[in-house]
Amino acid sequence: MKFQTTTLGIFLVAVTVSGGFYFFKTEPITNYPSSGTDIIAFGDSLVEGVGAADGNDFVALLSKRVGRPIINLGHSGDTTAAGLVRIDQLDAYKPKVVLLLLGGNDYLRKVPISETRKNLAELIQNIQSRGAVVLLLGVRGGILNDRFDSEFEDLRDTYHTAFVPDVLDGLLGDAGLMSDTVHPNTTGHKVIAEKIYPVLMQVLN
């Protein structure tokens, strides 16, 4: 299976989020620029917007900010394996960019890391075969020890995806940003949207 890989350019984008700077390095991105038309968010309860007030989940906030609809295909409780089962939901669309956020439930259910990585790789390849850019969103694989960190980076490097590391960084354990132990509240979703926005704009332009 062969995908188009075009260089966006290599530079650093800095954005201020909650008093800190987040830097995102853009690399050659597979399928950029995509001829698709739809922006889609595919994932678990974080994508669905659990914990946020109606219309204030990070997907809805990103949609408002970029001025384009983003189709929300989040499903609470999904593991990476469950994502594979329903990835054909993309058949109804012509994806341009797909925000992919899965893996947190794998950690909670003690799915082996090797299986999580394999499933994510299959999801990325499926999405890329549709001509879309994948914007891979990282999650933590542990509270004290992040077992997923290098796995997500390796997936980014192997499949040339756009990438935002650990979207929950700085949120977990902060009662002002979380609705429960794993789901951000409305303010937390706003922080996630701010992390993703500059990277999303790079692959939409």
User: Residue 136's beta-bridge partner residues?
Assistant: 100, 163
pLDDT value, residue 92: 98
* Residues in the chain where the model's pLDDT stays below 70: 1-27, 141-147
pLDDT value, residue 28: 85
* Burial (Cβ within 10 Å: 0-12, 13-18, ≥19) of residue 106: buried
User: Could you give the CA distance from residue 104 to residue 112 in angstroms, rounded to a whole number?
Assistant: 12
Q: Which domains does the chain have, with CATH numbers?
A: 5-204 (3.40.50.1110)
User: What does the block give as tokens for 190?
Assistant: 């706003």
Output the pTM of the full model: 0.87
